[in-house]
Chain A
Amino acid sequence: MEFQFEPASFPWLTVSIVLPLIAAGILFFLSERFAKPISIVISAIVFVISTWMLFAYDYSHYAIQFYEKYNWIPQFGVSYEVGVDALSLTMFWLTALSFLISFIWSVNIKKRVKEYFIAFLVLEAACIGVFVAWDMVWFYIFWEAMLIPMFLIIGVWGYAERIYAATKFFIYTFFGSLFLLLGVVGMYVYQYFHTGKLSTSYFDLANLGLPFNLEIIFFLLLALGFAIKVPMWPFHTWLPAAHVQAPTAGSVILAAVLLKMGTYGFVRFSLPWFPEASKYFIPVMFTLGVIAIIYTAAMALAQQHIKRIIAYSSVSHMGFVTLGTFALNVEGMNGAIITMISHGLTSAALFLAAGWIYERSHSYMLKDLGGMAKYVPVFATFFMISAMASVGLPGLSGFVGEFLALLGTFKTNVWFAVLAGIALVVGAGYTLRLYHKTMFMEELVDSKIIHKWRNTRDMTASEFLSFLPLIILMFVIGVYPKWWVDLINTTSLSILSKFIGG
C-alpha cells in the first residue's frame, strides 16, 4: 500500500491532545470552582478544532492529512506520528463532541468535582490520541492510558457495585490489550528480521507481506484485543456491568467513544494488515456479529434496568458494525463507519435520557417508571427522537448506517443479512418497550408514581444544551447522508484496496 501525506501547517492534533492534559494539570492546583468552566471551555476549543478539520479535510483523494511526525526513540524506530484520514477524523470529531456534551451535562455533579473533571480531561486526551496516532507504540500508550481515568470514573463516581464493575472493566480490557501488544511486537520483530527495518509506524507494518500462517496468528492476537473492546459476543459481559455502574457521563463516553475503539481497530488494522486472514475469518466474524445482534437483542428484551437495556442494544449495534466491516465491500464499510458515528450519537442521547430519568425518579428500574410523557413534553420528544434514531427509522441517522451495512452484508452473504435483518425487528421491539414503559402506560402505573411526575421539572438549560446537538446531528445525518458518505468514501476504498483492487 502506498500512502500520501499532507503535513499540517500547524500541529492541530497535538494541540487537541495536549490541551486537555495541560488543563487537567492546572486544575490539580486550582480550587474546585474553576473545574467546570475550564473543562467546558477546553473541550469546546477541541470540538471547534475538530469541526473545523472536518470541513478542511480534503476528501477528493485519500491522504493522511494534518500529518505530524517527530523522532522519539530512534533506537527502536519509534516516532511520534499523528494524522487523520476520514475515519480517524470522524472518530476524533465524535470524541470531541461526546466530551463536550458530557462536560455540559456534568455541571450538576457534586461529589469530588475537581477530580471528576481531571479524570475526564485526561480521558479525553487519551481517547483522541487513540484515534489519531499512527505509530503503534503511541497508539498503544493512548489505548492503555485510557484505562486509568475510566477505571477511576466508574469506580469513584459510580453506583453501588461500582468497584466490581470497574475492576472487571479494567481486567477484561487489559487482558485484551496485552495480547494486542504481543501481536504488534511480533510483527515488529518479524519486520526487523525480514527487512532489517526498525519501525513501529503503521505505514511500514502495513506493507509486511506476512505469510498466511503468521497472518492468522497476528490477526487472532489483535482481534482478541479489539473484540473485547467492541465488545463482541462472547466478550461482552463487562459492558452491561460497567454501563450500569458508571455515572451518566461515564456511560456516554463508554458507549460513544470507547466502544468505537474496538471497531476502529478492526477497520484500521485488521483489514489492511491481514487481508488473507480477514477473508479467511469472514464466516467466524459474521457468525459472532449475528450472534451479538440476535442474542443481545433478546437479552435486552428481558431486562428491567434501563441502562442495561441500552448497554445490550450497544452490543447489538456493534454487531452491525462488525458485519459491515467484514462484508469487505464499500457499502458495508461506509455503513459500518456511519453506524459507528450514529451509534455514538444515539447511545449518548439514550444514556443521557437514562441519567435524566434517574435524576428525577432515583430509579433505573422499569417497574418504578411509566407515564411520564405528559408531564415532561420536551424530554419525551427528545427521548423519542433518540429512540427512533437508535431503532433505525428512515430520516434519522441510525437508518443510513444499518441499511448500508446490511446492503454490504447482503452482497457477501445473503443468509447472514437475512438473520441480521430479522434482528432489526427485535431491536425495534426492545427500544419501543423501553420508551413505552417509561413514558407511556399512564393508566397501568401506580398512582403514587404518577404523582411524582406532576412536580417534575422538565429539562434544565444544561440538559437541554447537551441534548440538542445530538438531536440535530441525528437529523442531519439521516436527512442528508450524502455528505458523510462522500467524506468517508475515499477512506473506505483505501482501506479495502487489498480486497476490491481499488
Chain B
Amino acid sequence: MSIIEQLVSAVGVPNFGVLIPEIIVLITAFIVFFEELFSKNRILISATTVIGLLLSLLSIFTIKQGDLTLYGLYVVDGFSLLFKLFLLISTIIIVATYRRYFESKDIYFGEFYYLTLFALLGMMIMVSSPNLFTFYVGLELSSITTYILVGMFKTKNKKLKDFDYKSKEGAFKYLIIGGAGTAVISYAIALLYGASGTFDFMEISRAALNDANIGLIAGMVLLVLGLALKAAAVPFHHWAPDAYEGAPTPITTFMAVAVKIATFALILRVMVEAFPFISKDWALVWSILAALSMTVGNFIALRQKSIKRMLAYSSIAHTGYITAALAAPTGMGFAAFIFYTLVYIFMSIGAFAVLTFLEKTEGWNNTFDDFKGLAKRSPLIAIVMLVFMFSLLGIPPTVGFFGKLGVFLALIGSDIWWLAVVLVVMSIISAGYYLRVVSVMYMYEPVKNISFNINGVEKSILILMAVIVLILGIYPTVFWGISTQMSSLLIAGIGR
C-alpha cells in the first residue's frame, strides 16, 4: 500500500457527492476568471456564469441523502439545500440583470461575474456550516468579495464620476464596519472555544446544557451582535445605507437578497443548533435588536429623497421584522423566520430590479421626482412596482402579508405582545413611504419625457416576480409547508 492509500484508509474519503453544487460554482468561477482574462466577450462571460449556476441548481436535485462530510466540517441537510436552492435562483436572476446595466453605465465589468460567484460560494458554505470554523470561512469569503463588489463602480463615463466616488465611499464604510463585525465574531468564537473547548455547534450546545457559564453567554451575545452587524440590524446598520446606495444597483440587489438570506439562514442555524438551551437569552437580545431595527429603519426611510436609499432603510426595517420571529424561539417562530426570509427574496429582487432597469435611462437617479407619472409612461413597470411596494408593506393579497402574519402568530403564541404591537405600529409608519412611491407613480403627471430601454428578458423577470408575489399571497400553502418542515427538522436536530 502506498502512503496515499494508507492515509485514505485511515481517515476515509469525504463524500464529495453532496458537494457537487459548490464544486460547480467554484469551477464556473475559475472558468469565468480565465475567460475574463483572455477574452473580453461579455456575452460569453455572462452566458457561462448563468449556465454554471443553472447546472449547480440542477445538481441540487441529484442529492438524495444529506450528509455530514469533510470530516464533520460541512453539513448537507434539507435546511442547507433549501437555502442553496434559493440562493442560486436569486443569483441567477440577479446576474441576468448585470450585463445591460453595466454596459449602460460604461463600467468595466468582467470581474463582477466571478466575484459574485465567489461570494455565492461563501454563502453556500455559510448555510451548510455545522461548525464555527466553517461558518467563519464562509462568512469571510462572502463578505470580502462583497466589499469589492460594492466599490467597483469604475466607469469611463465622465458624467458618472459622482457615482464612482459614492461607490468607493460605500465600500470603504462597509469594509471598516464589516471588518469590525468580523473582529467581534472572532472574539466571540474565541470566547466560545474557551468556554466549551470545541468549535462544533452541537458540542457547544451540550456544553451550554451542562454549564452555561459567563464565557459562553458572553460569547453567544457577541456572536449575536456580530451577526446582527452583518445582517444590518440597528444599532449596527450604519454601513448599510451608504453601501446600498453607493453600490451599482444589481450589486445592491445581490446584497439585499442573497447576502441577507444567507446571513439569516446562518443566524437561524447557529442559534438553534449551538444555543438551543439558552434560547431565552438570545431571544431577548434579538427582540431588542428587532424592535430597534424596525423603529429606526422605518423612521429614517420616511425622510429619504432617493428611492434606492429608502429601500436600503426599508431593508433594515425588514431585518427587524424577520429577526422579530427569533424573539419567539419556538417551532412557529423558526417557521415564520424561514418563511419570511424566503418570500422576502421575491419582493426585494422585484423592487430593486425595477430600480436597476430604470436606472439605465440617462439622467435617471431613482429619486421620488424621477418616479413621477411613471404609470403613464410605463404602465407595466408601475403596476409591478405597486405590487412590490404593497408586498413590502404587508397588504394582502401579496405575500408580504403572510410573512408578517407568521411573525404575529409566533410572537403572540409566545406571549410577546409588546413586540407584536411595535411591529404593528412600525408597519403603519412604513405605509408612509411605500405609499409615497405608489402615489408619485400614479397620482402625478410626468415631469420629464424619457423613454425607457427595457427588453423582453427584463420585463419577464419583473412580471415573474410580481406573479410569484401575488400567487404566494393567495396560496402560500407550499411555502408554509416547507418552512414548518424545515423548522421541525432543525428542532429535531437539537442535541443530535
- Tell me the A residues contacting B by CB distance below 8 Å: 72-76, 115, 137, 140-141, 144-145, 147-148, 151-152, 155-156, 162-163, 166-167, 170-171, 174-175, 178-179, 181-182, 185-186, 188-189, 192
Contact = CB atoms under 8 A, between A and B. Distances in A.
Contact of A156 (B395, B413, B442, B484): B442
B439 A181 contact: no
- Chain A to chain B: the 3 pairs with minimum beta-carbon distance, closest first: A141-B396, A178-B424, A155-B443
With most chain B CB atoms within 10 A of its CB, the pick from A72, A156, A189, A192 is: A189
Interface stretch (B6-14, B214-222, B281-289, B401-409): B401-409
B428 A178 contact: yes
B443 A182 contact: no
Interface stretch (B49-57, B107-115, B473-481): B473-481
B395 A147 contact: yes
Interface bracket on B: 20 to 34
Contacts of A75: 477, 480-481, 484
A137 B386 CA distance: 22
B390 interface: yes
Given A73-B480, A185-B405, A188-B409, A166 B443 contact: yes
15 contacts: A75-B480, A75-B481, A140-B396, A144-B401, A148-B386, A163-B439, A171-B428, A171-B431, A171-B432, A174-B428, A174-B431, A182-B412, A182-B420, A186-B412, A188-B409
B300 interface: no
A181 B405 CA distance: 9
B438 interface: yes
A295 B337 CA distance: 47
A145 B387 CA distance: 11
B177 to A, nearest CB: 34
Contacts of B476: 73
B58 interface: no
Interface in B91-108: none
Given A141-B397, A145-B397, A182-B408, A170 B435 contact: yes
A470 to B, nearest CB: 30
Contacts of A145: 395-397
A193 B480 CA distance: 21
Chain B contact residues, majority secondary structure: helix
A178 B401 CA distance: 11
B439 A167 contact: yes
A204 to B, nearest CB: 16
A166 B439 contact: yes
B474 to A, nearest CB: 8
Contacts of A76: 409, 480
Contacts of A166: 439, 443
Contacts, number: 80
Given A73-B476, A115-B375, 17 more contacts: A74-B477, A141-B396, A144-B396, A163-B443, A167-B432, A167-B435, A167-B439, A170-B431, A171-B428, A174-B428, A178-B428, A179-B424, A181-B405, A182-B408, A185-B409, A185-B412, A188-B409
A151 B412 contact: no
B443 A162 contact: yes
A7 B476 CA distance: 26
B315 interface: no
Interface of B: 375, 379, 386, 390, 395-397, 401, 405, 408-409, 412-413, 420-421, 424, 427-428, 431-432, 435, 438-439, 442-443, 475-477, 480-481, 484
A189 B409 contact: yes
With most chain A CB atoms within 10 A of its CB, the pick from B386, B443, B481 is: B443
Nearest to A118: B383
A192 B413 contact: yes
Contacts of A148: 386, 390, 395
Contacts of B435: 151, 167, 170-171
A81 B432 CA distance: 33
Nearest to A171: B431
A163 B372 CA distance: 13
B470 to A, nearest CB: 11
A72 B477 contact: yes
Nearest to B432: A171
A189 B406 CA distance: 12
Contacts of B428: 171, 174-175, 178
A22 to B, nearest CB: 14
B26 to A, nearest CB: 37
Nearest to B477: A73
A344 to B, nearest CB: 25
Contacts of B401: 141, 144
Nearest to A188: B409
A166 B424 CA distance: 20
B374 to A, nearest CB: 13
A416 B413 CA distance: 41
A358 B397 CA distance: 36
A314 to B, nearest CB: 24
B420 A189 contact: no
Nearest to A176: B428
Contacts of A182: 408, 412, 420-421, 424
Contacts of B427: 174, 178
